């Protein structure tokens, strides 16, 4: 039995309200989680495979542990309901790993890794010129060049970036706006992307009736990693955001400025997303400490 996501989600919420007496806030949260997951999967949530859910789950790496835990619970209960109702025979969410407190930071990339990615991207763009590679170039330049969250990137309005203006106004978590600088290379890539998006279009990266999904972005990044000879398990949009942060900090960026660029409400979050190697710390102390010559 195949059921459209909107109908399946509505039936699930009706069950929670009628049989389990779920509170209005709970119903609203579950509804948002499931509708968002459905949108990311192009309306294919009810028929999703375990692999698709794992990719979806990985795309939430930038969210707070409590939010990820709630989304995981939403998915597991939703699919348990579908199984109980005979709508599908299996629960693909049963194996989703629990969120552990203090989740480790994602692996970062060396400058050499980043160079390989962009060299490969330029080669592919030359070999396969067309809309898909033009879009990929813009996505990658904005991910690494501006440190955008995956959700912020895929949902950029068509006019969010207006070359030659070297910045964009991005709406991040909590509907908070911030100004994000756009590099010259990213501006050039966005110009090319804009040329293939109708002026009346709503999104910079359209897909179907909406915009590109986070899961699809996750898959595209991993595909590029494989083309570049890098381990796809090491690559994700969030890893590129993390690389942006660590490379900016290593280059001398101020932590407070980086906090603003990343859109973090709390400086401690920025400190978790960035790390400086011990050698650079030793060099800094040696160069700047007033007793270093003593």
Whether 116 sits among the annotated catalytic residues: the reply is no
CB-count exposure of residue 274 (10 Å: 0-12, 13-18, 19+): buried
Whether 149 sits among the annotated catalytic residues: the reply is yes
d(CA 294, CA 286): 11
Q: Which residues pair with 168 in a beta bridge?
A: 161, 180
Tell me if 218 sits within 8 A of 237, measured CB to CB.
yes
Choose, from 76, 88, 173, 191, the residue flagged as catalytic.
Answer: 173
Closest CA to 40 of 173, 201, 210, 171: 210
Choose, from 137, 211, 241, 242, the residue flagged as catalytic.
Answer: 241
Whether 144 sits among the annotated catalytic residues: the reply is no
d(CA 17, CA 10): 11
**Omega cis (within 30) before 198:** no
Whether 30 sits among the annotated catalytic residues: the reply is no
Whether 234 sits among the annotated catalytic residues: the reply is no
**Quick check: helix, strand or coil at residue 163?**
coil
Residue 104: CB atoms within 10 A of its CB come to: 7
Side-chain-facing half-sphere of 165: CA atoms under 13 Å: 9
Whether 241 sits among the annotated catalytic residues: the reply is yes
Choose, from 149, 214, 222, 242, the residue flagged as catalytic.
Answer: 149
Residues catalogued as catalytic: 149, 173, 238, 241, 264, 273
């Amino acid at each position: 039995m195949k059921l459209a996501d909107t109908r399946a989600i509505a039936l699930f919420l009706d069950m929670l309200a009628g049989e389990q007496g779920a509170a209005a806030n709970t119903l609203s949260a579950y509804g948002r989680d499931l509708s968002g997951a459905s949108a990311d999967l192009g309306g294919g949530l009810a028929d999703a495979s375990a692999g698709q859910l794992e990719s979806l789950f990985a795309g939430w790496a930038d969210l707070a542990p409590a939010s990820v835990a709630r989304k995981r619970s939403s998915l597991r209960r939703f699919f348990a309901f579908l199984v109980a109702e005979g709508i599908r025979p299996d629960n693909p969410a049963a194996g989703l790993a629990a969120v552990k407190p203090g989740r480790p930071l994602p692996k970062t990339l060396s400058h050499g890794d980043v160079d390989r990615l962009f060299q490969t991207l330029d080669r592919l763009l030359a070999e396969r010129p067309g809309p898909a590679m033009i879009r990929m170039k813009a996505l990658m330049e904005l991910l690494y060049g501006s440190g955008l969250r995956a959700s912020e990137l895929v949902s950029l309005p068509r006019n969010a970036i207006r070359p030659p203006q070297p910045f964009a106004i991005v709406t991040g978590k909590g509907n908070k706006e911030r100004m994000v600088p756009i590099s010259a290379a990213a501006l050039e890539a966005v110009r090319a992307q804009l040329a293939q998006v109708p002026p009346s279009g709503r999104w910079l990266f359209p897909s179907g009736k909406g915009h590109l999904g986070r899961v699809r972005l996750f898959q595209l990044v991993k595909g590029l990693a494989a083309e570049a000879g890098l381990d796809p398990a090491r690559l994700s949009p969030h890893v590129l955001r993390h690389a942006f942060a660590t490379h900016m900090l290593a280059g001398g960026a101020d932590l407070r400025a980086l906090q603003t660029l990343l859109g973090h409400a709390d400086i401690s979050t920025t400190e978790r997303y960035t790390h400086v190697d011990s050698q650079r710390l030793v060099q800094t102390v040696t160069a700047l400490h007033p007793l270093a010559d003593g």
